[in-house]
Structure 1
Amino acid sequence: MNETEYWDLIHTERARLADLLSTLEPEQWALATLCADWTVEQVVAHLGVAANTGRWAWIRSIVRAGFDPAKHNARLLERSLGGSPEETLAKFHSSISLTIAPTKDFPAFLGEVIVHGQDIARPLELDLIPDAEATVEVARYFASKDFAVNSKTLVKGVRLSAVDADFESGSGPQVAGRLLDLVMAMAGRPEALADLTGSGVAELRRRMD
C-alpha cells in the first residue's frame, strides 16, 4: 500500500469518527473513555493536535517535555482543546483532510484513529466499525512493530487468529476473535480481552496488569 492509499484510509476513519461525534449529547463529551484518564473531548483533542503535528514540531515538543511522553501529550493536548465540545469538534473537523505526520509510519497513524475511535465508542455503547482493509493493515503493523504502543512486545509468544478476516500472526498459545478486538488488545486495552478466546488470553491479561 502506498502513501496516498494510507492517507485515504486515515481521512476516511477521521471522517467516520467525526460523524459519530456529531451525534453526541453535550454531557457525553465529559464521559470517560478506554484511554487512561482522558474524557471523550480530550481524546478528540488529542487526535486533532496529532493530525497537525509534523516531524519538527513533534521533536521540539518531546525535547521540551524531557522525553516524557505523558508530558509531551499533555502539552499538545492543551493546544487543541476548545472552549467547548463544539469548538473541539470543529478543530478536529478541520484536521480530517490533513496529511501531516512526524514519521512515515502511516499504519501507526491509521491505528491511532481506529483505536481512539473505539476508545470513545465502546464505553458509550455506540457502533463505530472501521474499514476492513484499514483494520487488517493496522493489525499487521501492530503485530510486527512497537511504535507508540508496545504491541509487538505485548503479543510475543502468542498466536493471534482473526475469525472474521484473513489475519494470523505469531506462534504459541492462541488468542482468537474479531480482528478489531485483536487490534484493541494489541493496543493494550484489557477491555478487549473479554471478547477474545483461547489459552493465550490469560497471558495477555497478565502482561497488561
Structure 2
Amino acid sequence: MALFRDRSNAVPSSTTGRPTWPAVHAERAALVADLTGLTDEQWTTPSLCPGLSVREVLAHLTAGASLNALRWFVGVVRCRFDFEKQVAMRLAEQLGATPAETLARFRGVVRSTTAPPLPKVALLGEIVVHGEDIRRPLGIDHDYPIELVTQLADFYTSSDLMLVGKSRVAGLRLVATDGPFTTGEGPLVSGTTLAITMATTGRVAYCDDLTGDGVEILRSRS
C-alpha cells in the first residue's frame, strides 16, 4: 500500500509523459462493472493488500482519484510526513457507510483526471495493480491490452520509486509468454506479462502463475 517507499531511483523517461487517461478511465469502468452485484460477504473478502478487504482497496482507489497535489501535500503535513498514515486517512474518508456507497463513490470518479503528484505511468499502475488486488481473491478474470501491461512491467521492473520492484527482480531474467516484455539476466522467470508485473510488485500469489528456476527466488523476496 505504500505510495512512496524509495525515491533513490529515477523513473525511466518513457514513463513520465502525459497520463493515458482513456486507459485509466476504461480500467476504472471495467472494475465498476466487475464489482456491481457483489454480496456483502464478498465485499469483506481479504484483498492481496495485507490487512485490507476488497472494499477498502476500492476506497483507496477512490481516494487516489480525488486527491490533487495540494490536498496530497496538506495531508502529508497533517500526518507529519507519515505516508502510510496519509493513505489510511484518505481511505477512511472514501469508504462510506455501506459497500453500495463505497462502489458509488468509486463510480463517481471513473472519469476523474484529478491525481496526486505521482509519475504518470503510476496512475495507470494504481488501477491495474489494485484492480488485481481486488479481482484475484474474488476469482474475477480480466483481460488487459498487452501494450498496457507491458508498459507497467517496464516501469515496475526498472524502478523502486513507487514499490520495490527493481530490487525484487534483480539478478533474474524475466520473459513474458504473451507479449514482447523481457528484461534482466539470471535464473528464468516466465509467464504472462500481468503475472510478471504483479509478482514484481510483491503479489506473491502471482508466483503460482510463473515458471522457471527463478520463481522461488522471486517468491522469497515478496
Q: 175, 192, 201: which is aligned to 1:178? A: 192
Specify the alignment match of 2:18 in structure 1.
Answer: 3
Cα distance in 2, alignment partners of residues 179 and 23 from structure 1: 29
Cα distance in 2, alignment partners of residues 58 and 132 from structure 1: 32
Cα distance in 1, alignment partners of residues 191 and 82 from structure 2: 34
Specify the alignment match of 1:144 in structure 2.
Answer: 158
Cα drift, residue 113 of structure 1: 0.6
Cα distance in 1, alignment partners of residues 116 and 213 from structure 2: 38
Aligned partner letter, 1:3: R
Instruction: Map Cα deviations across residues 142-186 of structure 1 (whole Å, 9 max, x no partner).
Output: 112223211112112211110011100112111100111001101
Instruction: Map Cα deviations across residues 13-50 of structure 1 (whole Å, 9 max, x no partner).
Output: 11111110113122211111111111111011000010
Cα distance in 1, alignment partners of residues 103 and 64 from structure 2: 14
Identity %: 40
- 1:66 equivalent to 2:77? Answer no
**RMSD across aligned positions (CA):** 1.5
SS in structure 1 at match of 2:87: helix
* Equivalenced residues, count: 207
SS in structure 2 at match of 1:10: helix
Q: Which has the higher contact order (CA 8 A, sep 6+)?
A: 2
Where do 5+ consecutive residues of structure 2 fail to align?
A: 1-13
**Which one has a larger percent helix, Structure 1 or Structure 2?**
1
Instruction: Map Cα deviations across residues 69-98 of structure 1 (whole Å, 9 max, x no partner).
Output: 321111111110111111111110111101
Give the TM-score, by structure 1 length.
0.93
SS in structure 1 at match of 2:101: helix
Specify the alignment match of 2:120 in structure 1.
Answer: 106
Aligned partner letter, 2:54: V
Give the TM-score, by structure 2 length.
0.88
- 1:93 equivalent to 2:93? Answer no
Counterparts of residues 24-173 of structure 1 (less than 5 Å): 24-103=38-117, 105-173=119-187
